[in-house]
Each structure stands twice: as structure tokens, then as C-alpha cells.
Amino acid sequence: MHIDRDVTPDYPLSWQARAVIGLMHGTLKPASILFMRHALALDCAARLGDVVNLLPLRLPGHVTITPAGFSACGGEWVRAGEGLDERKVVLYFHGGGYFSCSPATHRPITWRLSRVARRPVLALDYRQGPVHTLADSLSDALDAYRCLLGQGYAAEDVLLAGDSAGGHLTLATLLALRDRELPLPGAAVCLSPWADLTDFPRRANRWQDPMLPAGRVRWLARRWTAGLDPRDPLVSPVLGDFSGLPPLMILTGSTEVLRDEARRVAVRARRDGVPVRYEEWRRMPHCFPILADVVPEARTAFRHMGEFLAAVAALDEDPPAEGAAA
């Protein structure tokens, strides 16, 4: 499998995807437009996320969840299937706009990622707003990564992954590790990353996106960047220098309001010499792999992730000879 390429998966749109997209257009998007206009809404959404964590989520019998603790935050170990390589790990950052969701809400992603990566997943319960800042979230991510290295994991045996705000945190963590001259992970996977927090209007897909209102994304970015330089690469990773980073895989939907910044990350990273597999899935909504319990395309996306990770592993096992053409 060639890593550095653009892919537009050409699968027929399933009836399940059509139904979910229609439901989002009629419920999630209007609700976001109506309620995401005041700081109180963030606090209410965060509290609702705490309630969701208490709801039972049916998992396959081969999946195990084990609590994990760190100095600044908690998390959980997720293992799916047998024969996992316990010497390797995926460090996962959940999405939720930096104010909602948790490792529990993202188990449809993390257990499948464990299965295709054939290693445990450490889903980090990092600190979020409105109480905490972007710097707190990044500090927790770096603390967890250092903890893994301290437990004996080799940096090249660690994979970073995240969706939406977690994709932002994945990219910011990579840049921070590189700038601090710490050993870098073997690869990273970003699902619908939120990569640009500057105050620019998102015109592309503002009507087609079934889930995220462009104006509310802009409002949230303004809130999280108050008092910060939004052009700082740790705040807006799309503006960073990606030189020296490991291979990236970026998945996004063609109708997302965040699609263009995912594309820009891919272009910028390639310009800086990073191999990037960029996949743009036709009509898929924001962070669609989390819908894998009901949407066939979302389940297929994990197969693509597994192929990418296998290709990265093959590169590590058989590096090109010195002086050979790339």
C-alpha cells in the first residue's frame, strides 16, 4: 500500500448513511444553531456528557475496558480481540469540541481501532473547557505520552489518534513533541480534525454539513482562543511546520465544514516532507467512524486505517536502502 496519496473511497451510499445524515440535518444541526450561543450552553453540554457516561453501552464480548490513571487526568485501556501486542499502544484523544464527550462516548471508535491496530488503546480523559484551557488539554496529552515512555514503550511503538478536537490535540501534541526534541510516535491518525482556530469564516460546505454549523464552530474557536495567539501552531496546527513528523492518515467527509482544513493539513505536511494518506469520503458526516455500530461505511473506514498502519509497520521493518530513490 502506498502511504503518500489522496483517496476518495468510491462506495455506494448505504441506506443507513442516508438515514443518519437526514436525522442529523433535522436534529443535531438545528439544536447546535439554537443553543450554542452562550457560555452556559457549554456547561450544560459538559454536564450532559457526564450523564451519557453513566448509560450502559453494549460492547462485543471480546472487548475489555480497564480504568487507567495518570497524574493530571484519567482514562481507560481498551482491548479488542485476542493476540494483541502488549508492547505497543495507541494513545487516543476523543473529540467533543474541547467541552464534551469522554473515552466512554468514543468506545465505538477505540475498540475497533484496537482490533485493526492489534494493540491496546489508551483513551485519555484529558481536561476540557469551559473549566480548563487548551494548554491544560495539551499538558495532559504530553503527560500521558511521557508516562507511556516511562512505562517502557518505545516511541516508535506508540501511535497517536484522535477525532475532531481530539484530531486537533493529536496534531498539537506531535508539534509539541517535535519542538521539545522528544522521541516521536510511529504514526498518527486524525479523523475530521479541527485544525484551524483562527477567526476565519467557513464558507465551504456550510449548508451541506449535516452536523456542524459553521458559525457555531467559529464562535467556539473564538472562545477557546481568548487571550491566545490563534496563529500559534499549537492553537491552529494547520499553520505549523510539520517537518520531521511521522506518517499521517487523515479521514474526512466531503460535506464537512472542517473538510478544507483537513485538506490543508495534508498539503502542508506533504510540503514539509511528511507522507500523508488523505481520505475524503463522499457525503460522510463529521467524525463518521463513530457511527460504526449503524453505518457500513464507518466500519469500512477502520479497515482502511488497518491498511495504513500495516503499511507504516512495513516501512519500519524494511526501510529503503541508503541512497535509494524514494
Catalytic residues, by residue number, are 164, 256, 286
Q: What is the 3 state secondary structure string of the chain?
A: CCCCEEECCCCCCCHHHHHHHHHHHHCHHHHHHHHCCCHHHHHHHHHHHHHHHCCCCCCCCCEEEEEEECCCCEEEEEEECCCCCCCCEEEEECCCCCCCCCCCCCHHHHHHHHHHHCCCEEEEECCCCCCCCHHHHHHHHHHHHHHHHHCCCCHHHEEEEEECHHHHHHHHHHHHHHHCCCCCCCEEEEECCCCCCCCCCCCCCCCCCCCCCHHHHHHHHHHHCCCCCCCCCCCCHHHCCCCCCCCEEEEEECCCCCHHHHHHHHHHHHHCCCCEEEEEECCCCCCHHHHCCCCHHHHHHHHHHHHHHHHHHHHHHCCCCCCCCC
